[in-house]
């Protein structure tokens, strides 16, 4: 149980284009989803928190107009990187936190496999 998928796993795009990344909880309802960014040999940096049906809460320094987050249902959240530039190249990881009763406790986050974005 508690499986989270991400699509695509890898994407290469040209500078100035927009890229959408999907995050799905496959076998549980995710009341909250999180989006992280990870640079090589570094830990995960939280970008934003999204709750189903409401606006995402962005961490300080994260441009909300550049990283658009939509959490349309209890199993799907999307991150759109708008007008991507080479400095946006990174590993983007989503996580989902489900309802009480899931193994791992109420604060446990289950992570997707990540999406590697390369902007040329």
Partner 1 sequence: QKEVEQDPGPLSVPEGAIVSLNCTYSNSAFQYFMWYRQYSRKGPELLMYTYSSGNKEDGRFTAQVDKSSKYISLFIRDSQPSDSATYLCAMVPGNTGKLIFGQGTTLQVKP
CB nearer partner 1, residue 76 or residue 82: 76
| Contact flag: residue 26 with partner 1 (CB under 8 A) | no
CB nearer partner 1, residue 62 or residue 82: 62
Binds partner 1 (CB under 8 A): choice among 97, 98, 117, 119: 97
Q: 64 to 83, contacts with partner 1 by CB under 8 A? A: none
| Contact flag: residue 108 with partner 1 (CB under 8 A) | yes
Distance CA 76, CA 107 (A): 19
Q: 37 to 66, contacts with partner 1 by CB under 8 A? A: 41-44, 46, 49
Alpha carbon distances (Å) from 7 to 11, 29, 104: 9, 18, 25
Give min distance, CB of 4 to partner 1, in A: 8
| Contact flag: residue 16 with partner 1 (CB under 8 A) | no
Show the tokens assigned to 36.
């992280």
- Tokens 């550049």 correspond to 66
Distance CA 34, CA 12 (A): 23
Distance CA 14, CA 68 (A): 18
């Amino acid at each position: 149980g508690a499986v989270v998928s991400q699509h695509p796993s890898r994407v290469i795009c040209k500078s100035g284009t927009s890229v959408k990344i999907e995050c799905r909880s496959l076998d549980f309802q995710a009341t909250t989803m999180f989006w992280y960014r990870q640079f090589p040999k570094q830990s995960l940096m939280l970008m934003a928190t999204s709750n189903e049906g409401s606006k995402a809460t962005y961490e300080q320094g994260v441009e909300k107009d550049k990283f658009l987050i939509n959490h349309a249902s209890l199993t799907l959240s999307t991150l759109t990187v708008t007008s991507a530039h080479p400095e946006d190249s990174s590993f983007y990881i989503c996580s989902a936190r489900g309802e009480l009763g899931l193994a791992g406790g109420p604060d446990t986050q289950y992570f997707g496999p990540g999406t590697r974005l390369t902007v040329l």
